[in-house]
Amino acid sequence: MSNELKKTLGLGTALSTVIGLVIGSGVFFKPQAIYTITNGAPGLGIIAWILGGFITIMAGLTAAEVSAAIPRTGGMMVYIEEIYGKKLGFLTGWMQTVLFFPGTTAALAVIFAQQCAELFGYTATNMTIVLPIALGVIILLALLNNIGSSFGGAIQNIATIGKLVPLILIIIFGFIKGKSGGSTFTPIVGQGVSASTALGHVLIATLFAYDGWINVGAIAGEMKNPGKDLPTAIVGGLSAVMAVYIIINLAYLRVASASELALVTSPATLVATRLFGDVGGKIITIGILISVFGTLNGYLLTGPRIPYTLAKQKIIPGSDALSKVNAGGSPTNATWLVAILACIYALSGQFNLLTDLTVFMVWVFYVLTFIGVMKLRKDNPNLDRPYKVPLYPIIPLVAIIGGLFVIVNQLLTATVIALGGIIITLIGLPVYNYMSKKNDN
């Protein structure tokens, strides 16, 4: 049996993976956190959706250069290893393996389970209902993705189409039936809230909603034409997502006020129920569940490629098992590793806590990637670059500055969460040192 991943994925799957990884839960659920932070004021929330999208597109334009220049399975971990060396590359992969992918998968499973519970008349806080559903959907998708990478890609394509239905319906009917002249930009923040302090918090929320774009690089080794298709998928997908996010949030505010959206777990469901009635609202909720399901699948499609790559290099415990590929072309044991860790994180039942933790930590490595694009141009000017970031170095610098703002703000205002992510990541250092010595013997 071959342990090499097959080149079976094309632009369609890559593009749907970007959109599928990004449009999932954030656009439907994060308005609640955003308008809670602004104390029921809409202005800063809309600004954050615009600013978060701008920063993300700058990030995508920047990272696409190194993604295309180093189109190997492993994504960001491989880029950072190439630029900064094996130890930092391993630490990137370790963070993604033990924190980012399983933590985000767990957060998505929790919000999926909460919406299922509410759909059937239970409360989102009923853990006896929520936790079994959350664990069950993780295990189900791990089983489906182990059928093969092409099968996982097919799920992604179907779910991406499915998730567009509630978005389109809410946008169209929100503008047709919603109130005209509703407040969308004023006030900027509510009483007692500092705009400068709140901006960092709402950006964390919107950046979670925009996150996932770089992870399509993790399947570069399975793409037929990564040099051409990868940048197209990242930049094209993000531009479409940003437009959708801004428009749908304006539609939300035509149907419900920001203060109302702050009080409900699923603002999109509230809006849908007002537009289409109870039955219509439930139908839209099912569409939202399909959306989250697709995003969950995207993370369990791409995430296991990270421990698989580490295992191929023999630098993670259990490398012999984690490097195995099944008959369908999927890294089966690596998939179960991510799924089991996700189940453990899901036991917390905390959507916002998990997303804040993963967004902070992954942006530390995003910024290293952006800096790495500039370093790689200096250190290896003759490297074949099928795509170059436009307006160099302005766009990379904008991406770096935006990322540093998010990191520093989270360190100052959510110190415990930030330190938790740093500690989990740094545990990877003794693991790397142990495995390196073991391989040298």
CA distance 233 to 171: 24
| 192 within a domain of the structure (yes/no) | yes
| 5 within a domain of the structure (yes/no) | no
| 3 within a domain of the structure (yes/no) | no
CA distance 11 to 400: 28
Q: Specify whether the CB–CB gap between 149 and 8 falls below 8 A.
A: yes
Burial of 77 (0-12, 13-18, 19+ CB in 10 A): buried
| 223 within a domain of the structure (yes/no) | yes
CATH number of the domain within which 246 lies:
1.20.1740.10
Mean pLDDT by 10 residues, the chain (441 residues): 62 77 82 91 92 91 85 79 93 95 95 91 88 96 78 64 81 86 78 86 91 70 74 82 91 91 88 90 86 84 87 89 83 94 95 91 95 94 86 94 92 90 95 88 68
Indicate left, alpha or beta for 107 from its phi (over 0: left) and psi (-120 to 50: alpha).
alpha
What is the reported pTM?
0.86
Q: What is the pLDDT of residue 298?
A: 79
- Which tokens is 221 given? 């080794």
CA distance 354 to 214: 19
CA distance 296 to 24: 8
| 136 within a domain of the structure (yes/no) | yes
Radius of gyration of the chain, Cα coordinates, nearest whole angstrom: 21
Domain of 387, in residue numbers: 11-440
| 4 within a domain of the structure (yes/no) | no
- Which tokens is 178 given? 């919603």
| 406 within a domain of the structure (yes/no) | yes
Backbone torsions φ then ψ of 385, nearest 5 degrees:
-120, 95
State how many domains the chain has: 1
Residues 6+ apart with CB under 8 A from 256: 267, 270, 271, 274
| 93 within a domain of the structure (yes/no) | yes
